[in-house]
Amino acid sequence: MIVGFVGFFGARLFEISTYYLVAEGIDAIGEMLSELPAAFPYSVGEIGLFIVLTVLLRFVFVVQARRAFRRVGQQVSFDLREQLFASVQQQGSDFFSRIGVGDIMTRAIQDISLVQRLIAFGLIQIVIMVYAPLFALSAMFVKSVSLSLLILPLLPLIYIYAQWVATKMAVTSKAVQESLSELAAHTHENLSGIRTIQAQAQEENEIRRFFRTNDQYASAFYEQARIGSLMSAWMPWLTALSQLTIIVYGGHLVLIGTLSVGDLIFFLACLNMLLQPIRMAGFFITLVARASVGVDRLCEIFDAPAEIVDQPSGRTAASIRGSFVIRDLSFTYPRSPHPVLSNISLSIKAGESIGIVGRVGSGKSTLLKQFTRMLDPPAGTLFLDDIDVREYPLALLRSQIAQVLQDPFLFGEPLRSNISYDDPERDLEFIWESADSAALRGTIEEFPKQMETLVGERGVTLSGGQKQRTTLARGLIRDSAVLILDDCFSSVDTETEEHILSRLKQLRDGKTTILVSHRVSTLRHTDRIVVLEEGRIAEQGTHRQLLDLDGIYAELERLQTQGMSPAKPVAEPV
């Protein structure tokens, strides 16, 4: 920025010097033609050489200054993108329920681009607005005080008009950015659900919906362009009025001999320098108004408090054993009138395998997310190795508790990168072992490129079962002290499930495993089963004990093994 400011200062100095030399050259030629002795100590040829030199020096200073400011703009946009991405990484479900992915992408690309343009080009405009009047008015007052005072009343009028346009431009710019965010969100949602749209034959309806969103954006953009055009249309009239004033009154001064022809031309050149920022005011106001809206939208993300605050106490060990104690844990989602979990109390020993089952909405997934603080449990309700889970550093907690989520999300990378996501440098041998444990080896060997097979966005090239087994392999390869499996066998056939469970029992011997499933055949392999009902623990015990209890679990077992209708409808867990 220092290089930019100094560069433009030098450029303006050489620009005013060029005007001065041109004026002196004109007066020198006039004196030569009138055969009067020259008042300027240099010849016309020498003046011409000086003009060329000042123009070249101005060119060098302008180039360096513009490069410097554009570099500043690029570096600021780089930092903003980094900060935006880091801010989003710390947010949870409540944040993403308010600001969609398409909206965030618009802010990360379009809004930051507006800020970059303001810095790269707006700084140049600001420098021109400061330096041009400084040099121009100083030179004009030196040449003629009366002529300078004549044009000063026009400047406040131009300023007032520019302020009015800026206010209008800010309103329209906000409408444009919000419409663009809605357009991006609509497009993202449509493309993400394209298979559902095609399956429901809703292509025409989606095209009509997109037309309405697109039309809203276009209308807002047209209004913004209209306001900008008003500024561009009126500014030439105001500048022409100033020039006309100089020519009329300055010409009179030349005729009466108080001002030379060269001075009048110099005065017009200075006026051109003075009016340059005014002529560009429309562009600058548009930049400021749009960037202001962009900054507001970016700060909405930057200023959003992190839903999960990382405040380690320093009392935790570098590794965990894997025992949990839950004491009267209740949890309510923001803006929800009813708790999802109510007074949950549960003890899990290190090395124990726990199964969790329950109807839709009973709180199973919500409970699992408490263990890794994907959702923050209330203080004093969840303890890991006898220490409140909130005292653990998030990085430590989540690195030593492997969680396989219900939604089998895959990145658009090769299978190898997806399985070994936490450590891309892991040996291929370990990756294959993990794939074998997840009953995925045979599937991968059928692919022509095997581990280097690209799975497409969100694993679109794989079946539901293949995606589930890939995410399971990603969890198993970490060999963590605690493994949490959230209904990750729902798309796997029973034979494959048996293979996975037998390998899981070998791999997880002596390590804590928490498993959610709606299949009794899966849950019976665990040491203890917990049954949730409406956010509370309704039953717990071994497979045999729960069958003898003849409650919810026994009812679910009869439904799956004998095909009997339960007393209450039982649905697959979410």
| CA neighbor of 47 nearest in space, from 19, 17, 22 | 22
Average pLDDT of span 83-87: 83
Determine the pLDDT at residue 47.
Answer: 74
Shared domain for 40 and 136, answered yes or no, is: yes
Shared domain for 123 and 229, answered yes or no, is: yes
- Average confidence score pLDDT of the chain: 78
Q: Is residue 508 situated within a structural domain?
A: yes
Q: State yes or no: pLDDT of 567 exceeds 70.
A: no
Contact 87, 127 (CB under 8 A): no
Mention every residue, 6+ apart, whose C-beta is less than 8 A from residue 309: 376
Average pLDDT of span 147-164: 72
Average pLDDT of span 11-18: 80
Determine the pLDDT at residue 572.
Answer: 38
Q: State yes or no: pLDDT of 295 exceeds 80.
A: yes
How far, in Å, are 372, 395, 499 from residue 483 at the CA level? 11, 16, 18
Determine the pLDDT at residue 524.
Answer: 80
Strands 482-486 and 401-404: parallel
> 309-353: per-residue pLDDT in tens?
777 777 777 788 888 888 888 888 877 778 888 888 888 888 888
Determine the pLDDT at residue 24.
Answer: 73
Q: Is residue 474 situated within a structural domain?
A: no
Shared domain for 293 and 359, answered yes or no, is: no
Shared domain for 372 and 288, answered yes or no, is: no
Q: How many domains does the chain have?
A: 2
Shared domain for 293 and 332, answered yes or no, is: no
Q: Is residue 464 situated within a structural domain?
A: no
Contact 287, 117 (CB under 8 A): yes
Tell which of 302, 336, 368 closes a domain: 302
Tell which of 302, 334, 350 closes a domain: 302
Q: Which two tokens stand for residue 280?
A: 């560009």
Q: Is residue 567 situated within a structural domain?
A: no
Determine the pLDDT at residue 565.
Answer: 43
With 0-12 / 13-18 / 19 or more C-beta atoms within 10 angstroms meaning exposed / middle / buried, residue 388 is middle
Determine the pLDDT at residue 36.
Answer: 54
Tell which of 254, 272, 302 closes a domain: 302
Provide the pLDDT confidence category of residue 415 given band limits of 50, 70 and 90: confident
Shared domain for 382 and 521, answered yes or no, is: yes
Shared domain for 179 and 296, answered yes or no, is: yes
Q: Is residue 160 situated within a structural domain?
A: yes
Determine the pLDDT at residue 353.
Answer: 86
Average pLDDT of span 427-455: 78
Determine the pLDDT at residue 33.
Answer: 63
Lowest mean pLDDT among 42-56, 254-268, 272-286: 272-286
Domain containing 525 — which CATH number?
3.40.50.300
Which of 418 and 281 is assigned the larger pLDDT? 418
Average pLDDT of span 373-393: 85
Q: Is residue 428 situated within a structural domain?
A: no
Q: Is residue 459 situated within a structural domain?
A: no
- Phi and psi at 186, nearest 5°, equal -60, -45
CA dihedral 204, 207, 212, 213 (to 10 degrees): 150
Lowest mean pLDDT among 64-78, 185-199, 474-488, 527-541: 185-199
Determine the pLDDT at residue 213.
Answer: 85
Shared domain for 175 and 298, answered yes or no, is: yes
Q: State yes or no: pLDDT of 17 exceeds 50.
A: yes
Shared domain for 272 and 353, answered yes or no, is: no
Shared domain for 268 and 347, answered yes or no, is: no
Shared domain for 349 and 255, answered yes or no, is: no
> 493-521: per-residue pLDDT in tens?
677 777 777 777 777 778 888 888 877 87
Domain around 342: 324-409+480-562
Shared domain for 123 and 16, answered yes or no, is: yes
Average pLDDT of span 13-41: 70
Domain containing 254 — which CATH number?
1.20.1560.10
Q: Is residue 444 situated within a structural domain?
A: no
Average pLDDT of span 448-470: 73
Report the length, in residues, of the chain.
574
HSE, side-chain direction, 13 A CA sphere, residue 306 = 15
Determine the pLDDT at residue 35.
Answer: 59
pTM: 0.62
